[in-house]
């Protein structure tokens, strides 16, 4: 459980008699009246200094209390950025308060700022020692980064529904499973969290991500819609909902969502690209161009921008112009079958049938891989019985350019069967290309191959 | 002296430039030809269709069997179509409706058929049940009907009388149109089940849509039959879409069945040439056919085959046949017609071809599953090199969104303004759709074409559209010969609807029926109406819509035009031109005959 903030301590008083008379002056003794006056002056000064110090401490005490209240309010409103700002101020005012560092560490972790969280947790333990809550926080820090090891199992076994931090544990578990591409477990964590806290938008948003990744686009839209209902200004949920609507071929409502996001953040690149895609789908390709211009001003090589420019050129019946944009898009994301398909269409539109046919085969291979990957991911369950599906999925993910996911899936295979040779061989191959060589050697040895 | 340009001329020129789509083959605008009818006194645009079902006498519902058992089989999801056939050649299209089927036996696993229905068109919007008199109440030898889906119509034996082909689970049936009494032609016509005699009584597992066209150029219509998936009670998994409610399984759970291509032998029979002709086999990611259209896509005069498959690539078979030898070459992917703009295969059901952009080439149109765009493939083919571009977004069709599951469809000029519009019948394929706005019964969609760009005009369908339906196939045809395309819409488990086209009241039209020499099949021909430098092209097609067969006459909406030239390009490449045709009527044009005959029916 989080540390409760300690009450700000009252300002220390100045020790009495510290500046008392008779402390060894070298001159002649003053007359008694003069001595009394001096003592009175000194006493008054001491009182003034004491009052000033007390005032200063008191002001800090009030500022810290205000910051603490602001932190509480920001956390209740799920505004982690604002909470972080107030926490920075609070620990500046109360650097010895372990509760402030603890909350700062937790908030930084929840924001995904793991190094910062680690530092804050160190300061917390320096100030208040290692406690059960800090041990739990260290576990959550590891879990949320996808370093699940045995920790997730331990947490699931020990943190029951009545534990005061169960929601934070489920949040960290969900994030960790998402980071490790363990979709079934991420879904379970989100479902449990939703059950405990149905008015919290995040488990709905993340459930949407999971459904989207598993190819359940309609269900993803339902989850995102719920998150938007709960917090209408939630940018991520609204953008995700719009994205799903575009995928579900409903450009008009998607455009409304993107426009709402852009009303608050006019340069949001994802919303700009999304709105541009809606305009192309609506047959208003010309209106897409200035939106893409705005978004690409920040990131001229963004995949979405390149693909959209190609689509606009195609709508203008300029396949030659489109070809260049699609080639750059494919270079940027070679594992995206849609961009590759659009390149094929642009080639075909120019009569470049031979290259179009060659690339069509690549599209088909890629789609076959992605279809199989989707099937495997949907069937992989949290149980430890079989490493083969994870291995196959990992190999496919690496082949289609999804390195992080591929490595995650291969490690999931090893979690199920540590001596799965084919998986070690696949990881050896991967690390040989991407480094570090020591890992390549290690997996090569474990694969048992020369 | 500098002349002043009138303000309205400037405005017209600006409007011209703004509205003209930027295409290579620019469609010609229609100055002074309103695309919007005058509003009715209530301020709403006038409806383009009138629901005349109640008065028509057509009262028949396709049944999918869910009223007989709760099997939730994929068999129940396909529904049926509608066939328009002037079987008695009185010049009025009659209506054939497949009956579907149900489940019987102690475990409700016996698949049984329901009789189909034939309604004879009496004129004046009235129809009478002619099923029994036409011999369609049972099959050869008194066998009961099988579980039916679709219908195709063609004069397969070239005797001048349209014949009937019915598809379904476990088989197909070919009915030959014969005199009720050979000794007395006045006794009318009836149908004779000649399936076995024609060699069509084996090899079919689950037939959906079918279409006829003369593919090898011998004059006799050959036959393409779509097959769906290898479902059976032994392969009938339970599926759900919300993690708990059992429902019909999607097609990805089944292997696609190979389709069938039959060569018409010209002697009353059909030979299965599927393999040697080059049809692709079935499989987990192939086939699963639902819709088929035969039309010449590359302009060589030979009808090609375009097939809508469910969740897997569509087929475009380019016709490479020669007389007596059927050969086709699949080119869906290289031609750009197999998938959508994202490179994804779709759940494709309904299909048609038309020329909505007035390019002179048939664009292909496909209705798809929810959350997939319906596909408009713009034709950029040259002879021998089929090539299409996905044109849905640019045509404005993507803008309306795609929340429905589309089935029967066709290009039709609902307001007779000379620009082909689109109608789509909708209804969900599964029993319990999930999602906030999902519903099993859905509204139809009408897209009006304004100079090559479509806008949603579903609110102009009329009263019929106010109620959501579980619609499937649609038979499109002019039932009352008034130049407006009427609709016969097949629903699942509720009576079919008959909608009368009433649009374009102040517009003119021209209808033509093209016939080959000796009743040869002319699918692959096209007719072009030229007037004021503008051209409209219509294509003679086989199949189309979904599991349905429509009017094979070609209709041109003329707006306010009353004069022009009709050019007919026959499949053999010959061309005939006709000037001075009066408008607002039908003509029969037979290849080689210099003069067209007035009249709506088949030449006798």
Dihedral sign (CA A184, A188, A191, A193): negative
Q: By the CB < 8 Å criterion, does B435 face chain A?
A: yes
Q: Is the pLDDT of residue B437 over 70?
A: no
If you search the block for the tokens 């020499």, which residue do you land on?
B517
Helix (H) and strand (E) counts for chain B? 4, 41
This model of the complex carries an ipTM of: 0.83
HSE, side-chain direction, 13 A CA sphere, residue B460: 26
pLDDT of res. B436: 66
pLDDT of res. A31: 62
Per-residue burial over B438-455, b = 16 or more CB atoms within 10 Å of its CB, e = otherwise: bebbbbbbbbbbbbbbbe
> How many CB pairs lie under 8 A apart between chains A and B?
88
pLDDT of res. B7: 47
Nearest to B424 by CA among B440, B442, B407, B437: B407
Q: Is the pLDDT of residue B297 over 70?
A: yes
- B271/B22: higher pLDDT: B271
pLDDT of res. B219: 96
pLDDT band at A139 (very low <50, low <70, confident <90, very high): very high
Task: Give the pairing type, strands B171-179 and B189-193.
Answer: antiparallel
Which has the minimum average pLDDT: A55-69, A195-209, B354-368, B421-435? A55-69
The answer to whether the CB atoms of A345 and B453 lie below 8 A apart is no
Q: Is the pLDDT of residue A90 over 50?
A: yes
Contacts of residue B395 in chain A, CB cutoff 8 Å? 283
The answer to whether the CB atoms of A349 and B339 lie below 8 A apart is no
pLDDT of res. A150: 84
Contacts of residue A356 in chain B, CB cutoff 8 Å? 334
Length of chain A in terms of residues written: 450
- Selecting from B24, B393, B401 the residue whose C-beta is nearest the C-beta of A252 gives B401
- Selecting from B22, B396, B403 the residue whose C-beta is nearest the C-beta of A250 gives B403
Task: Write down the CATH superfamily of domain A202-300.
Answer: Tetratricopeptide repeat domain (1.25.40.10)
Please tell me which residue of chain B has the smallest CA distance to A359: B334
Q: How far apart are CA A289 and CA A308, in angstroms?
A: 9
Strands of B554-559's sheet in order across: B554-559, B508-515, B585-590, B597-598
Q: Is the pLDDT of residue B282 over 70?
A: yes
Q: Is the pLDDT of residue B10 over 90?
A: no
Q: Which two tokens stand for residue B78?
A: 């396909």
- Selecting from A225, A251, A356 the residue whose C-beta is nearest the C-beta of B436 gives A225
Q: What is the pLDDT of residues A212-265, one digit of tens each?
A: 999 999 899 999 999 999 999 999 999 999 999 999 999 999 999 999 999 999
Q: How far apart are CA A277 and CA A257, in angstroms?
A: 13
Q: By the CB < 8 Å criterion, does B396 face chain A?
A: yes
pLDDT of res. A54: 81
3-class secondary structure, B212? strand
The answer to whether A216 touches A246, Cβ cutoff 8 Å, is no
Please tell me which residue of chain B has the smallest CA distance to A364: B343
Q: Is the pLDDT of residue B195 over 60?
A: yes
pLDDT of res. B20: 40
Q: How far apart are CA B388 and CA B298, in angstroms?
A: 10
Q: How far apart are CA B293 and CA A100, in angstroms?
A: 72
Tell whether omega for the bond before A436 is within 30 degrees of 0, i.e. cis. Answer: yes
> Helices marked H in A333-416 — which ranges?
337-349, 353-379, 388-399, 403-416
Same fold, A202-300 and A370-450: yes
- A212/A160: higher pLDDT: A212
DSSP lists the bridge partners of residue B537 as B528
Average pLDDT, chain B: 92
Q: What is the pLDDT of residues B568-601, one digit of tens each?
A: 999 999 999 999 999 999 999 999 999 999 887 6
The answer to whether the CB atoms of A285 and B396 lie below 8 A apart is no
pLDDT band at A324 (very low <50, low <70, confident <90, very high): very high
Please tell me which residue of chain B has the smallest CA distance to A338: B342
> Helices marked H in A231-268 — which ranges?
235-247, 251-264
Q: By the CB < 8 Å criterion, does B156 face chain A?
A: no
Taking a contact as any Cβ pair under 8 Å apart, which residues of chain B between 108 and 147 contact chain A?
Answer: none
Q: Is the pLDDT of residue A407 over 70?
A: yes
Taking the alpha carbons at both ends of chain A, their separation in whole angstroms is 51
Average pLDDT, chain A: 89
Taking the alpha carbons at both ends of chain B, their separation in whole angstroms is 66
pLDDT of res. B483: 97
pLDDT of res. B399: 87
Please tell me which residue of chain A has the smallest CA distance to B336: A345
Task: Let me know if B389 is exposed, middle or buried by CB neighbors in 10 A (0-12, 13-18, 19+).
Answer: buried
Q: Which two tokens stand for residue B157?
A: 């034996």
pLDDT of res. B21: 38
Please tell me which residue of chain A has the smallest CA distance to B395: A283
Which has the minimum average pLDDT: A40-44, B24-28, B133-137, B298-302? B24-28
The answer to whether the CB atoms of A282 and B396 lie below 8 A apart is yes
3-class secondary structure, A113? coil
Q: By the CB < 8 Å criterion, does A353 face chain B?
A: yes
What global pTM score does this model have? Answer: 0.86
The answer to whether the CB atoms of B398 and A337 lie below 8 A apart is no
pLDDT band at A16 (very low <50, low <70, confident <90, very high): very low
Q: State the best of B401, B432, B433 to mutate against chain A, taking most chain A CBs within 10 Å.
A: B401
Q: Under CATH, to which class is A370-450 assigned? A: mainly alpha
Length of chain B in terms of residues written: 604
Q: Is the pLDDT of residue A10 over 50?
A: no
Q: Is the pLDDT of residue B32 over 50?
A: no
Q: Is the pLDDT of residue B526 over 70?
A: yes
pLDDT of res. B330: 97
Mean pLDDT of A434-447: 95
Q: Is the pLDDT of residue B6 over 90?
A: no
The answer to whether the CB atoms of B389 and A345 lie below 8 A apart is yes
pLDDT of res. B448: 98
Q: State the best of A341, A350, A363, A369 to mutate against chain B, taking most chain B CBs within 10 Å.
A: A341
pLDDT band at A449 (very low <50, low <70, confident <90, very high): low
pLDDT of res. B341: 92
Q: By the CB < 8 Å criterion, does B4 face chain A?
A: no
For chain A, what are the domain ranges? 202-300, 303-351, 370-450
The answer to whether the CB atoms of B394 and A283 lie below 8 A apart is yes
Helix axes A285-298, A303-315, angle to 10 degrees: 160
Q: What is the pLDDT of residues B108-136, one digit of tens each?
A: 999 999 999 999 999 999 999 999 999 99
Distance from CA of B297 to the nearest CA of A (A): 16
Please tell me which residue of chain B has the smallest CA distance to A346: B389
Distance from CA of B138 to the nearest CA of A (A): 45
pLDDT band at B244 (very low <50, low <70, confident <90, very high): confident
């Amino acid at each position: 459980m989080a540390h409760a903030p300690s009450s700000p301590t009252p300002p220390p008083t100045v020790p009495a008699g510290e500046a008392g008379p008779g402390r060894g002056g070298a001159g002649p003794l003053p007359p008694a009246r003069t001595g009394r006056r001096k003592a009175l002056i000194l006493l008054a000064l001491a009182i003034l200094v004491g009052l000033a110090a007390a005032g200063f401490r008191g002001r800090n005490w009030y500022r810290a209390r205000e910051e603490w209240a602001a932190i509480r309010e920001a956390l209740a409103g799920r505004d982690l950025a604002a909470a972080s700002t107030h926490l920075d101020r609070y620990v500046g005012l109360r650097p010895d308060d372990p509760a402030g560092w603890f909350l700062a560490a937790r908030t930084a972790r929840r924001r995904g700022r793991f190094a910062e969280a680690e530092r804050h947790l160190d300061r917390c333990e320096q100030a208040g020692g290692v406690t059960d809550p800090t041990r739990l926080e260290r576990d959550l820090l590891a879990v949320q980064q996808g370093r699940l090891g045995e920790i997730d199992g331990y947490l699931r076994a020990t943190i029951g529904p009545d534990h005061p931090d169960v929601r934070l544990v489920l949040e960290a578990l969900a994030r960790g499973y998402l980071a490790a591409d363990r979709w079934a477990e991420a879904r379970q964590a989100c479902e449990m969290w939703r059950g405990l806290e149905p008015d919290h938008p995040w488990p709905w948003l993340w459930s949407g991500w999971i459904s989207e990744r598993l190819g359940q686009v309609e269900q993803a839209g339902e989850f995102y819609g719920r998150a938007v209902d709960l917090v209408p200004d939630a940018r991520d949920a609204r953008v995700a909902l719009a994205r799903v609507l575009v995928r579900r071929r409903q450009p008009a409502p998607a455009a409304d969502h993107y426009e709402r996001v852009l009303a608050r953040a006019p340069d949001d690149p994802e919303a700009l690209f999304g709105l541009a895609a809606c305009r192309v789908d609506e047959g208003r390709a010309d209106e897409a161009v200035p939106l893409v211009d705005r978004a690409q001003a920040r990131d001229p090589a963004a995949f979405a921008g390149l693909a959209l420019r190609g689509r606009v050129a195609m709508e203008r019946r300029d396949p030659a112009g489109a070809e260049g944009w699609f080639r750059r898009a494919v270079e940027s994301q070679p594992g995206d079958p849609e961009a590759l398909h659009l390149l094929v269409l642009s080639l075909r539109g120019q009569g470049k049938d031979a290259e179009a046919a060659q690339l069509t085969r690549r599209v088909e291979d890629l789609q076959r891989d992605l279809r199989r990957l989707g099937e495997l991911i949907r069937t992989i369950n949290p149980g430890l019985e079989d490493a083969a599906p994870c291995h196959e999925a990992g190999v496919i993910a690496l082949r289609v350019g999804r390195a992080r996911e591929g490595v995650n899936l291969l490690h999931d295979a090893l979690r199920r069967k540590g001596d799965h040779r084919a998986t070690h061989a696949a990881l050896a191959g991967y690390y040989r290309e991407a480094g570090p060589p020591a890992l390549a050697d290690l997996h090569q040895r474990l694969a048992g191959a020369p | 002296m500098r002349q002043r340009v009138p303000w309205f001329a400037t405005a017209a020129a600006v409007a011209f430039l703004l509205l003209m789509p930027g295409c290579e083959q620019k469609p010609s605008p229609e100055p002074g030809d309103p695309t919007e009818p005058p509003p009715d006194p209530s301020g709403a645009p006038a409806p383009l269709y009138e629901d005349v079902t109640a008065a028509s006498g057509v009262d028949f519902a396709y049944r999918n069997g869910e009223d007989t058992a709760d099997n939730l089989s994929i068999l129940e999801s396909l529904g049926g179509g509608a066939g328009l056939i002037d079987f008695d050649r009185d010049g009025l299209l009659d209506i054939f409706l497949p009956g579907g089927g149900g489940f019987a036996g102690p475990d409700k696993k016996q698949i049984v058929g329901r009789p189909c229905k034939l309604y004879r068109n009496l004129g004046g919007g009235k129809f009478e049940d002619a099923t029994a008199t036409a011999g369609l109440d049972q099959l050869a030898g008194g066998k009961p009907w099988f579980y039916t889906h679709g219908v195709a119509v063609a004069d397969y034996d070239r005797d001048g009388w349209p014949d009937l082909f019915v598809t379904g689970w476990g088989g197909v049936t070919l009915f030959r149109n014969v005199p009720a009494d050979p000794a007395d032609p006045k006794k009318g016509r009836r149908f004779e089940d000649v399936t076995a005699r024609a060699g069509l009584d084996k090899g079919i597992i689950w037939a959906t849509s079918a279409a006829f066209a003369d593919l090898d150029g011998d004059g006799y219509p050959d036959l393409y039959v779509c097959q769906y998936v290898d479902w059976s009670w032994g392969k009938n998994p339970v599926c759900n879409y919300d993690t708990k409610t059992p429902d019909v399984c999607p097609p990805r759970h089944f292997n696609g069945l190979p389709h069938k291509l039959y060569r018409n032998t010209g002697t009353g029979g059909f030979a299965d040439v599927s393999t040697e002709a080059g049809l692709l086999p079935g499989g987990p990611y192939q086939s699963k056919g639902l819709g088929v259209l035969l039309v010449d896509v590359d302009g060589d005069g030979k009808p090609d085959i375009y097939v809508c498959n469910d969740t897997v690539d569509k087929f475009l078979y380019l016709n490479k046949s020669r007389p007596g030898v059927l050969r086709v070459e699949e080119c869906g992917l290289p031609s750009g017609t197999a998938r959508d703009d994202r490179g994804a295969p779709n759940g494709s059901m309904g299909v048609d071809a038309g020329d909505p952009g007035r390019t002179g080439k048939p664009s292909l149109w496909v209705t798809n599953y929810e959350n997939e765009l319906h596909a408009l493939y713009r034709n950029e083919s040259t002879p021998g090199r089929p090539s299409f571009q996905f044109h849905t977004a640019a045509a404005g069709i993507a803008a309306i969104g795609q929340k429905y599951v589309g089935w029967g469809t066709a290009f039709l000029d609902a307001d007779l303004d000379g620009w082909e519009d689109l109608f789509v019948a909708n209804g969900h394929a599964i029993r319990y759709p999930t999602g906030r706005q999902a519903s099993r019964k859905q509204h139809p969609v009408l897209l009006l074409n304004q100079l090559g760009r479509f806008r949603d005009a579903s609110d102009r369908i009329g009263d019929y559209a106010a109620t959501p339906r579980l619609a499937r196939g649609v038979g499109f045809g002019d039932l009352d010969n008034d130049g407006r395309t009427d609709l016969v819409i097949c629903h699942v488990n509720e009576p079919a609807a008959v909608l009368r086209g009433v649009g374009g009241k102040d517009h003119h039209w021209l209808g033509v029926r093209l016939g080959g020499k000796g009743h040869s099949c002319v699918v692959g021909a096209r007719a072009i109406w030229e007037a004021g430098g503008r051209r409209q092209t219509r294509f003679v097609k086989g199949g189309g819509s979904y599991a349905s067969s429509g009017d094979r006459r070609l209709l041109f909406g003329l707006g306010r035009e009353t004069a022009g030239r009709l050019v007919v390009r026959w499949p053999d490449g010959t061309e005939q031109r006709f000037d001075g045709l009066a408008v607002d009527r039908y003509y029969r044009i037979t290849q080689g005959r210099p003069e067209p005959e007035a009249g709506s029916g088949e030449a006798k």
